Every structure is written in C-alpha cells, then in structure tokens.
Chains A and B, each alone.
Chain A
Amino acid sequence: MTAEKSSDAQAADDEPEFNVADLDLGFAEEVAAKPGGEYIRRCYSCGMCVAGCPVAEVEPRYSPRRLIRMILLGLRAEVLQSDFLWLCCNCYTCMERCPQAIRIPDIIRAAKNIAAAEGRLPANLKTVSASVTKIGRLYEIEEFDNKKRVKAGLPELQTKLEDVERLMRK
C-alpha cells in the first residue's frame, strides 16, 4: 500500500459517525461567532492538522480534524460532552500548518468555552480556575514561601492579591 493510500484510510477512520436526527445545524455558526472561529467552514479535511498533532500521536481518541468535522456537522452534544475536547494542549502546531489558515486551537477553545458555560468544565480545571480567580495565582504564596525566597536572595512577593478577586468576581 502506498503511503498516500494509508493516510486516506486513516482519514476515513477519522470520520465521525452520526445520526441525522441529532444534528444541531446552528453549532458551526455558534463556534464561528467566537474569536478565531470565523474560518472553520474553509476546512477541506486534508488531515495536515492531525499529522503534526502531538496529542493525536499518542492518543487515538483525539483528532483535531475529526473535532472540526463534528462541529461542522452539528454534532453539538457529542462535542460538548466528550472528554477528548479537553485534550488539545494548545501547541499551535496545526494552526501553523493548516493550508486553509484555520485557527484550529481557537476553534477548539471556543467549543471548550461553550461547554464550560454549560457547566462542563472538567473538575481539575475548575480547581485551577477557582484558585486563579480567588487568590490571583495557581499556587498560594505564603509567608513560608517568602522566607524561602528571601533566603535564596529573591524578593518577597505579595501574599494576597485581593484586588484580583474583586476584578474577576462575575
């Protein structure tokens, strides 16, 4: 088999299965309306994005091309409820190589934002987000950390960033 054929076969495997009754035809528009989502309809399924994706390389459940197809087809519930949606590590490799200049990670992020607004943010990311919005940092800086910093010759940092909580409170 030629290399080209095998990549075609792979692309066919990558096609999502769907039930016409489940399609939400407004989903692509919803995603396209978010920043970076506007070029989604240009995708012609070439698979360049999958070829360079570090996550697709190690995790068969994940394919940016399939995600884009699913959004275009209107598989709203499947995309928003999936766990693989959260596996994009935002490395931009696909975006640099997409022949259609589609901002793939921005599109995936738009879908993540929609899922999060519907209460589907994964638990660990909820913890991250609570910490960052409440204390202004991923990890708290306590007196103890400042002591260690000073001992190492580093300046002390603010232990409390109260105005961040005020700013981020919705």
Chain B
Amino acid sequence: MSACEPKTDKKLRYALFLGCNIPVRATNYELSARKVAEALGIEFVDIPDFSCCGYPLADEDRNETLLMSARNLALAEKAGCDICALCSACTGALTEAAHYLHEDEAARARVNDRLAALGLKYSGKTRVVHFARVLAQEVGAEAIRAKIVKSLNGIRVAPHYGCHYLKPSGLYGFDNVEDPKTLDQLIALTGAEPVDYHGKLRCCGGGILAVDEGVALSVTRGKLESVKKAQADAIGLVCPFCGIMYDTNQKKVESRFDREFGVPVLFLSQLLGLAMGFGADELGMKVNRVKPKEILAKVGA
C-alpha cells in the first residue's frame, strides 16, 4: 500500500515538503509545525528524496524550475500523497508546476521525457497546499480551538502574509490578496491580538537578497519600522524566507540603518504551539534569533 492511502476516513495526510531553508536554517518552523500538525490529527509523510522545489532556478531558466518541481511532484505521486509545504516560495513553485503540467499535455510529455532517466513519471495528479491553508480550510477554526489550552491574551502580533502564500491569486484562488484574513484569524485563535499596521501586504525583500543585499534589506526595514510603530509584540509569519529576512537578518538591518527594533518573529505554528501548551524547546524557540523572552514569560512556556 502506498504511504498516503487513507487508512481511516477523513484523515488529513500529506507528504511534508521542507525545501532548502527549513531543514537547516528554520528547524524552529519544522519542529513547531510537526507538533501542531500531530496535535490536530494531520499526518505528515516524509519523503527523504525531496529536493529543492526549483524556485531558485527561475531567474536563470524557468524550464529548469519546472523540471525540478516536476521531480518532486512525481515523487509525491508515486507515494500516493498530496504535498503540504511549509515554505510559501515552495508552495508557489510547486503549485505553478502542478497547474501547468495538469493543463498542458505537451509540457507534461517533455518533462516526462527527462524524468524517465530517473525511472519517474508524472501523470499530473499531485495537489499542493500551504500548511497555513490546510489549517485555515481543512482543519478549521473549531478543531483548532478545541486544542487551545492557554490563551496568548494580551500579546499583540503583526501578521505578515508575505507574497507566495496568496499570490498570484489566479493560481491559488484563496483568501483576498488585497485584504487577507486567514492569518489574522489563525493568530486570533490563540487569544493573541492581530495588529493592523502600515504596509501589511509588503514583501520581505528576500527574493533579491542574493542579488543586492542593500536593496533587499531596505525592503525588509520598511516593515520592521511600521511593526515597531504599531507597537506589536511580535511578527507572525508562515514562510522561512520571510523569517530569515525579519529574524535572522534583523540585526543586520539594525546596524545598516542605525536603528533598534528588537521585534521577535514567530512562525504561526510556534504561536499555535504555545497556545496548545507545548514548551519553548519543543517549538524550537532557541533557534529564533530575536529572543521572544517577554512572550514566553507571559505565557509561562
């Protein structure tokens, strides 16, 4: 039996797609997502042969991105699984490839020609979905609320949607790109207060970090300024690359622009995990660069 054939009715079971950043640079996201998923009855199947999604190749040659995505889609198909991705850029690249290869038979044939050398074949069946979308749409508020044991009441969290979780809207058809709500709603389930702030829809700048660090960090800075101004206690987000820009690189932004932010950056799954009663270590809080000390003290985690 293949790994993802449902054993029981209504069981949510996905091949977990980690991508490049999470397994080495954002293990806090992985740890917390696995914990939260397990508590909510989502089963993650690990496919150790998954590679990069292919997105980093797009500036050089979009066809290479497609090919690399297709290999991952084929591996998932072979295991009988749909894919749940934690990274928004992976979700975007894989969704785009899945869509394109589903629609365009000639493109699928071309890709399969190349995949044949690896003994793989993709027939166009794999569905790709972001972890936060699984929580919002498939698990749902009621089931999440049932697992909340601690309120994050009094903590103000600035939701950062990032780009590829929602856009392009034509590809996803989910939430509202100009006035999104799902992340606000998921954060609110923890008892924390989702905070509105200027430039909420802005990109983190991560896409050009390798090209021009100065410009990339200027983009990052804008949001740190407005989140600080809105007096949020933390940024809450759903993509490891956004995490790298706001958390890992926050010190760099501070020294480059001679500013002080000290804004903790938590993954949605870390916020949910705290409210579900998991401890700081279980949620990988040690990996967070800007230590969320006050939040952890308030919650007693």
Closest to A163 in B: B118
Contacts of A153 in B (CB 8 A): 31
Q: Is the CB of B24 within 8 A of A89?
A: no
Count A interface residues, CB 8 Å: 54
- Given A89-B205, A93-B201, A35-B48 contact (CB < 8 Å): no
Q: Is residue B222 within 8 Å, beta carbon to beta carbon, of the partner chain? A: yes
Q: How far is the CA of A168 from the CA of B117 in the complex (A)?
A: 11
Asked if B258 is at the interface (CB within 8 A of a chain A CB), the reply is no
A91/B31 contact (C-beta < 8 A), A96-B177, A164-B68, A166-B117 known = no
Distance between Cα atoms of A95 and B30 in the complex (Å): 31
Complex interface residues of chain A between 7 and 61 (CB less than 8 A to chain B): 34-35, 54-55, 57-59
A contact residues around B34 at 8 Å (CB): 154
Q: How far is the CB of B122 from the nearest CB of chain A, in Å?
A: 12
C-alpha spacing A88/B68, complex, angstroms? 22
User: What is the chain B residue whose CB lies nearest that of A52?
Assistant: B201
Is B143 an interface residue, CB under 8 A from the partner?
Answer: no
Mask: chain B, 158-169; 1 = CB below 8 Å from A; 0 = not? 000001100111
Tell me the bound Cα distance from A13 to B217 in angstroms: 25
Are A149 and B163 in contact (CB-based, < 8 A)? no
**At the interface, yes or no: B296 with Cβ under 8 Å from chain A?**
no
**Contacts known (A157-B48, A164-B68); A133 close to B20, Cβ less than 8 A:** no
Question: In the complex where A139-B24, A167-B67 touch, is A55 in contact with B208 (Cβ < 8 A)?
Answer: yes
Q: Point out which of B117, B212, B218 has the most chain A C-beta atoms below 10 A from its C-beta.
A: B212
Q: Which of B173-190 contact A (CB under 8 A)?
A: 177-178
Kindly report which residue of chain A lies nearest to residue B214, judged by CB atoms: A59
- A87–B208 touching, CB < 8 Å: yes
Query: Chain A contacts of B218 at CB under 8 A?
Result: 58-59
A96 in contact with B59 (CB, 8 Å): no
Can you name 9 A-B pairs with beta carbons within 8 Å?
Answer: A55-B205, A88-B208, A89-B207, A122-B211, A128-B56, A133-B57, A138-B21, A152-B27, A167-B115
A residues with CB within 8 A of B: 34-35, 54-55, 57-59, 62, 83, 86-93, 95-96, 109, 112-113, 116-117, 121-122, 124-125, 127-129, 132-133, 136-139, 141, 145, 148-149, 152-158, 161, 163-164, 166-168
